[in-house]
Amino acid sequence: MSEIAMPRLSDSMEKGTILTWLKADGEHIAKDEDLVEIETDKATMTYQSPGEGVLSIVAPVGSELQVGAPIGSLAARQAGSRLVDEQSSARLLPHAERSDDQTAEVGGTAVGSGGVDRSNGLVKARATPIARRLAQVHGVDLARLRGSGPLGRVMREDVAAAAGLSLDAPVHVGAATSPAMAWPESSAAESSDFIVRSPTRVQQVIARRMAQAQASVPDFQVQTEVAMDGALRLREQLKEAATGEITPSINDIIVKACAIALRSHPTVNSSYREDGFHVHSRVNIGVAVAAEQALLVPTIFDADARSLGSLARESRRLAERARAGTLAPAELSGATFTVSNLGMFGMTAIKPIVNTPQAAILGVGALRPVLVRDAEGELADRSVLTLTLSCDHRIVYGAEAARFLADVQALLEAPMNVLL
């Protein structure tokens, strides 16, 4: 018998919470099969079985355990085991001999395709954790939904539509699972004045880190306005030239400009550590993504070496995986600089908190029209946005921050340079 331990799914993970067992107790599983969904300090991740055997679950759903603590075990298949024999028979049964539940169709598609796993004759829908909780509370059969997420994964919106819920109104997921996992109403929710909600593990970690950063990092900001007319024209040209390809967004152009500028400003591409300043040889940019009830920052590796098109494709891929809750641990680690954009929400400017141990983070505001005087003194319409660079003063000083931000501004105002 081999033990299954709580895995370390991120470089900073200390504890994990069992959200969903994807295999049943006593079920025979193969190596690398999806085994359990675990909420870490960064995201919800699916952990694959480290070996083959009959599963024995030790940690029930909702358990919060230290990395390395036992969550289950795998036993070798026993030839005389009735359970194993029944499971083997179930796998060999033709569809006609299975129960109605086992032969259910998903939106007209046979179970086993799209978002449903038919392994071992059992119906298991692929779904995000919040979709599972919402379905449990509102009595929605996940196996009968066609998921709109990657690989047919059932999303919160799919469950809400099936239950006739409006996502514009508060949607309660209840306390069907661990109180630390969702947004359940507490016993104090009967008050007409307030509702008590328990933060998820990700939210707890974000809150703790932001408080630590505010208390321990002597930060400062430099800010400038950038004329984005050239960048907007470039994007329109790229859009016209694209034939089915992803068109880079304004944010992609900003990320690329930062990546190029970071080559010339290694201090800004550094981290503060107890043993000294770590000046990174690679330019890996984290891009903040607002996911369900969390802020995730997946990493675009070697952003300076990518073409703008490659960077745009990677940005879309990571954003989709972040919102679907399917980011891998490696995709959430290794960033050397961060870009946080709230322009799509109409915010004029953002003063971001440094994402320690990184030396700096760039906040991006909304595009807005302004009237300016051109070189001839005539009034002209311009599109501008505000960039705010927050820096760790222990590494980056004001002059260096200003020079870096000026280089980013110059690249954005002459955007053909980001294509070189």
Q: Residue 192's pLDDT band (boundaries 50, 70, 90)?
A: low
- How high is the mean pLDDT of the chain? 80
Q: Is the pLDDT of residue 172 over 50?
A: no
Q: 60 forms bridges with which residues in the sheet? A: none
Last residue of a domain, one of 151, 175, 210: 210
Lowest average pLDDT, out of 101-105, 211-215, 324-328, goes to 101-105
2 with 144, same domain: the answer is no
Q: Which residue has the higher pLDDT, 233 or 201?
A: 233
Count of Cβ atoms closer than 10 Å to residue 297 Cβ = 23
The CATH number of whichever domain residue 274 belongs to comes to: 3.30.559.10
78 & 141 share domain: no
Is the Cβ–Cβ distance between 127 and 147 less than 8 Å? yes
For residue 210, pLDDT beyond 80: no
Rounded distance between C-alpha atoms, residue 341 and residue 329, angstroms: 23
Residue 293 is predicted with a pLDDT of: 64
Check whether residue 189 and residue 312 sit in a common domain.
no
What distance in Å separates the CA atoms of residue 256 and residue 262, rounded to the nearest whole number? 10
Nearest CA-CA partner of 228 in 96, 400, 383, 395? 383
Instruction: Tell me the residue type at 407.
Output: D
Q: Which two tokens stand for residue 266?
A: 């290694």
The full DSSP string for 38-54 is EE-SS-EEEEE-SS-EE
Is the same domain home to 157 and 27?
no
What's the pLDDT tens digit per position in 381-420? 999 999 999 999 999 999 999 999 999 999 999 999 998 8
User: pLDDT at position 231, please?
Assistant: 96
User: Is it the case that residue 107 has pLDDT exceeding 50?
Assistant: no
3-state secondary structure of 139: coil
User: In 107-242, which residue ranges form alpha helices assigned H by DSSP?
Assistant: 129-138, 156-163, 201-216, 229-241
**For position 85, what pLDDT does the model report?**
42
Strand partners for 340: 363
* Residue at 151: amino acid letter: L
Return the DSSP state at 67: T
Q: How many C-beta atoms surround the C-beta of residue 11 within 10 A? A: 12
Asked if 109 and 88 sit in the same domain, the reply is: no
DSSP string, 312-349: HHHHHHHHHHHHHT---GGGGS--SEEEEE-GGGT-S-
223 and 325 belong to one structural domain: yes
Q: Please, is 352 exposed, middle or buried when counting C-beta atoms within 10 Å of its C-beta (0-12, 13-18, 19+)?
A: buried
72 against 91, higher pLDDT: 72
pLDDT at 318 over 80: yes
Same structural domain, 172 and 303: no
Contact indicator for 58, 38 with CB cutoff of 8 Å: no
Query: Which has more confidence, 82 or 49?
Result: 49
pLDDT given at position 315 = 96
How much is the average pLDDT of 216-242? 92
Domain count, the chain: 3
* Residue 375 vs residue 212, higher pLDDT: 375
Indicate if the pLDDT at residue 266 is higher than 70.
yes
CATH code at position 61: 2.40.50.100
- Would the pLDDT of 95 be above 50? no
pLDDT given at position 396: 96
Mean of pLDDT values over 359-379: 91
Domain boundary among 159, 190, 210: 210
Please give the Cα distance from 135 to 177 (Å, whole number). 12
Residue-wise pLDDT for 296-311, tens only, equals 899 999 999 999 999 9
- Residue 20, pLDDT above cutoff 90: no
Range of the domain at 156: 101-210
Closest CA to 42 of 337, 355, 262, 370: 355
Q: Are both 321 and 305 inside the same structural domain?
A: yes
pLDDT digits (tens, 9 = 90+) for 320-338: 988 887 788 889 889 999 9
- Residues 86, 125 within the same domain: no
| Mean pLDDT value of segment 75-93 | 50
Say whether pLDDT at 292 is over 80. Answer: no
Lowest mean pLDDT among 130-134, 172-176, 197-201, 257-261: 172-176
Separation in Å, CA 70 to CA 5, 18, 404 = 4, 12, 48
Band of pLDDT at residue 109, cut at 50, 70 and 90? very low
Residues 182 and 249 placed together within one structural domain of the fold: no
Q: 145 pLDDT exceeds 90?
A: no
Are 126 and 49 in the same domain? Answer: no
Q: Is there a contact between 20 and 129 (Cβ–Cβ < 8 Å)?
A: yes
- Shared domain for 115 and 60, answered yes or no, is no
Q: Is 416 helix (H, G, I), strand (E, B) or coil?
A: helix
Over residues 96-107, mean pLDDT: 34
User: Which of 92, 127, 144 is at the close of a domain?
Assistant: 92
Reported pTM: 0.65
SS3 at position 405: helix
In this prediction, residues 56-76 reach a mean pLDDT of 91
